[in-house]
Amino acid sequence: MMDGLLDATLAICLPLLAWLVLRTEALSQAVVLFVAFGLFSALGWARLDAPDIALVEAAVGTGLTGALLMHTLSWTEEDSSDVRARARRRPWALLCTVALTALLGWAVLALPVDSQGLGPLIAARQEDSGVEHPVTAVLLNFRGYDTLLEIAVLLVAALGARAVNPRSERPDKEAMEDPLTGELFRMMTPALLLVAGYLVWVGDHGPGGAFQAGAILAGGGVVAILTARMGTPRMSSARVRWALLTGPLMFILVAVAPLVSGGRLLEYPPKHAGTLIFVVEAALTVSIAMVLLMFFPGTRPPRALPEEKP
Amino acid sequence: MSLLDGVAAAFMLAGAGFCLAGTVGVLRFPDVYCRLHALTKVDNLGLGLVVVGLALQSGSWATALKLLLVWLFVLVASAFTCQLIARAALRRGTPAWSGRRES
Cβ–Cβ gap A309/B92 under 8 Å: yes
Cβ–Cβ gap B84/A183 under 8 Å: no
Q: How far is B73 from chain A (nearest CA, A)?
A: 8
> Per CB distance under 8 Å, which residues of A are interface residues toward B?
180-181, 183-184, 187-188, 191, 306, 308-309
Nearest to B80 among A184, A306, A308 (CB): A184
> With an 8 Å Cβ cutoff, is B83 touching chain A?
yes
A interface test, pick of B5, B78, B84, B87 with most A CB neighbours within 10 Å: B84
Cβ–Cβ gap A180/B93 under 8 Å: no
Question: A35-49, A218-232, B75-89 — which is least confidently predicted?
Answer: A218-232
Q: Which residues of A touch B1 (CB under 8 A)?
A: none
> With an 8 Å Cβ cutoff, is B93 touching chain A?
yes
Nearest to B93 among A184, A191, A309 (CB): A309
Q: Is the pLDDT of residue A310 over 50?
A: no
Q: What percent of chain A has pLDDT over 70?
A: 92
Cβ–Cβ gap A184/B93 under 8 Å: no
Q: Which residues of B touch A306 (CB under 8 A)?
A: 92
User: Which residue in chain B has the smallest CA separation from A192?
Assistant: B73
User: Which residue in chain B has the smallest CA separation from A182?
Assistant: B80
* Confidence band, pLDDT 50/70/90 cuts, at residue A300: low
> With an 8 Å Cβ cutoff, is B97 touching chain A?
no
Residues A10 and A41: their CA atoms lie apart, in Å, by 8
The pLDDT of residue B102 is 54
User: Which residue in chain B has the smallest CA separation from A178?
Assistant: B84
The pLDDT of residue B101 is 62
User: Which residue in chain B has the smallest CA separation from A306?
Assistant: B92
> With an 8 Å Cβ cutoff, is B77 touching chain A?
yes
Tens of pLDDT, residues A55-88 = 889 988 888 899 888 888 877 776 666 666 666 6
Tens of pLDDT, residues B29-68 = 888 898 998 888 898 999 999 999 999 988 899 999 999 9
Q: Is the pLDDT of residue A124 over 60?
A: yes
* Confidence band, pLDDT 50/70/90 cuts, at residue A226: confident
